[in-house]
Structure 1
Amino acid sequence: MRIESRYNGPSGSGNGGWSAGIFAAAAGGPGPVEVTLRRPPPLDTALSMVDGEVRDPAGELVAEVRPAEAVDAVVPPVDRDTAIDAATRYPGLVEHPFPDCYVCGPHRADGLRIFPGRLPDGRTAAPFRAPAQVSDATVWAALDCPGGWTVLAPGRPYLLGRIAAVVTALPSPGDECVVTGALIRADGRKALVHTSLYGPDGALLGAARATWISR
């Protein structure tokens, strides 16, 4: 396994959702899995997995992959116009802790450019155009940052710590999708969030529950 440098999150490390999706795919298995990131996933580094443990060439633990309970963390959808309007209020356009993030970084013209803005009820929503190449890791990545932005605020960065996701279908390249996120609860430095990805016809393509940890 290798996280290519273009799939970064914070500078110098892999985007959490993309990395988790790569690890989940490598683990295989019939059901959903949960990925716990033990340290920032290194970029352009050969990683190995043995018994659900992802390690770097020095043997340092990067992540753990375990079977997960059913992922029923569905956040209700919104229509695309509502998502487009929400994206105009994306806080990351003004201040962003990781502006080069592959998923939500405004500096990344070649990224997924998912800009989650708040809805009146506190959820986040964003439009998402599926890229030319789509994999399960793309869906995991799309389900990542919209959850974080339910708690991220200026001067209060969070990082993904754990995520469990289910991918029911892949969007086709160019599909105009919508992502929604919701904060379920916050406890000290930890926040539990849910996210969902919907296709152009409103069908649920994937859902995730995740724990984000403040820095």
Structure 2
Amino acid sequence: MRIAARFNGPPGSGNGGYSAGLLAVELGLAPAEVTLRRPLPLDTDLAVVRAAAAARVLAGDTLIAEARPAPAQRPDAVPPVPLSDAAEASKDYPGLRSHPFPTCYVCGTGRDDGLALRPGILPDGRTAAPWHVPGDICEPTLWAALDCPGGWSVIAPSGGRPYVLGRISAWIDALPRPGDTCVVVGRHIGGGGRKADVLSTVYSPDGVVLATAHATWIALPPATD
């Protein structure tokens, strides 16, 4: 397994959602749960070690990630919003003012070759963003679209404190069509300490659920001099 450099999240490491989806496809797991143990190296050959339905991803001797079938209980979809509401929320995307990882493939403001998701905050705390589906849409790309909109439901209220994806389970029903404009919504549902649990859902232009994810995000420790 190899994560191309353009699919980064934090600088120098793979976007969590995209990388998790790549692993799920590699293993033929659907739905799948992926736990990220270390930053995901880019442009590096990673070993996938299978054990029954589960697997580990290694960079040399270092455990990078683990995958297994997703829990049997699928979470409810985050309630939808009209495209017009998502577009309006996106205008006030907090990452436009301050972004912990501006080169992120999914939501970075310093990219012109990414997914360009701008999850803005709705009055009830959910995030919402239009998503213009790229021509090279694939399952890992859909996992990527499920990633950051959930995270911003935690990052925005925290004042921009950096969080990274720790675990994600995704249920994929169908891929969107290239060129479609979908709506992605996210919601913070709980957690404690440095961990935050979120949901995210991608809706087709006609309001059909295409995919839903449950994820755990982890706040990075404060920087020290």
Q: TM-score range by the shorter chain?
A: over 0.9
Q: Distance in 2 between matches of 1:97 and 1:156?
A: 7
1:72 shift after superposition: 2.1
Match for residue 61 of structure 1 among 47, 60, 63: 63
| Equivalent residues of 2:92, 2:120 under 8 A apart | yes
Q: How does 1:6-21 map to 2 (within 5 A)?
A: 6-21=6-21
Contact 1:100 1:107 survives alignment (8 Å): yes
Shift of 1:47: 1.1
The 2-side partners of 1:53 and 1:146 are apart by 26
Do structure 1's residue 184 and structure 2's residue 189 form an aligned pair? yes
CA deviation digits over 1:17-50, x for unaligned, max 9? 0000001111114x41100000011000011211
Question: 1: distance between equivalents of 2:160 and 2:15?
Answer: 20
Tell whether the 8 Å contact from 1:10 to 1:98 is kept in structure 2 after alignment: yes
Task: Tell me what 2:34 maps to.
Answer: 35
Question: How many residues end up aligned between the 2 structures?
Answer: 213
Within 2, Cα distance between the matches of 1:36 and 1:95? 27
Normalization by structure 2: what TM-score?
0.92
In the alignment, structure 1 segments of 5+ residues that lack a partner are none
Q: Does 1:24 align with 2:24?
A: yes
After superposition, residues 42-191 of structure 1 pair within 5 angstroms as 42-51=41-50, 52-56=55-59, 58-70=60-72, 71-153=74-156, 154-191=159-196
TM-fit CA distance, 1:172: 1.0
Structure 2 regions of 5+ residues with no counterpart? 221-225
Shift of 1:158: 0.4
Q: Is the CA contact 1:73–1:195 (under 8 Å) kept in the aligned structure 2?
A: no
Letter of the 1:4 partner, please give it.
A
What percentage of residue pairs aligned between the two structures are identical?
58
In the superposition, the TM-score normalised over structure 1's length comes to 0.97
- Give distance in 1, aligned partners of 2:191 and 2:94: 20
- CA deviation digits over 1:93-137, x for unaligned, max 9? 000000000000011111000010100011000000000101110
Aligned-partner residue type, residue 185 of structure 2: T
Q: Would the alpha carbon gap of residues 64 and 73 (structure 1) be closer, same or farther in structure 2, given more than 3 Å must change?
A: farther
